Amino acid sequence: NAGVTQTPKFQVLKTGQSMTLQCAQDMNHEYMSWYRQDPGMGLRLIHYSVGAGITDQGEVPNGYNVSRSTTEDFPLRLLSAAPSQTSVYFCASSYSGAGNEQFFGPGTRLTVL
């Protein structure tokens, strides 16, 4: 099993550009989530999904969109990048919910100029 994979590993964008961060898992997990990690602030939840076709907002959803068309994939879209979105982004999955062990991907380091 590859676990949780994320691409790209690094990305530099200019303000106003859009892009999609990819996340995939091969563990047949129902629950998937996106976090951003900023210095001194731990991980903050952006969006999450409890299953294919179902998504919901987390603590910091503004400026981001998600979709969950399959169990395996959970892409995160930045609509119009802003410098405040410079961060490290982690995708995670778990068997059935927030109370289960979260398996994290290796992260995407995004810089918005």
Partner 1 sequence: TQLLEQSPQFLSIQEGENLTVYCNSSSVFSSLQWYRQEPGEGPVLLVTVVTGGEVKKLKRLTFQFGDARKDSSLHITAAQTGDTGLYLCAGDGSARQLTFGSGTQLTVLP
Check residue 51 for interaction with partner 1 (CB under 8 A).
Answer: no
The CA angle 68-50-35, to the nearest 5 degrees, is: 75
Q: Tell the smallest beta-carbon distance from residue 61 to partner 1 (Å).
A: 12
Taking the complex as a whole, how short is the minimal distance between the CB of residue 8 and partner 1, in angstroms? 14
85 lies in the binding site for partner 1 (CB under 8 A): no
Tell me the DSSP string of 11-46. EEE-TT--EEEEEEESS--SEEEEEEE-TTS-EEEE
> Which one of 58, 61, 63, 75 is in contact with partner 1 (CB under 8 A)?
58
Judged by CB, which is closer to partner 1: 4, or 66?
A: 4
Distance CA 57, CA 106 (A): 22
Instruction: Out of 18, 59, 84, 113, name the contact with partner 1 by CB under 8 A.
Output: 59
**Nearest-angstrom CA–CA distance, 31 and 60:** 18
| CA distances from residue 97 to 28, 37, 65, 90, 100 in whole angstroms, order as listed | 13, 20, 20, 17, 6
For residue 2, state whether it binds partner 1 (rule: CB under 8 A): no
Q: Does 25 help bind partner 1 (rule: CB under 8 A)?
A: no
Q: Which residues bind partner 1 (CB under 8 A)?
A: 4, 33, 35, 40-45, 48, 50, 56, 58-59, 90, 92, 97-99, 101-102, 104-107
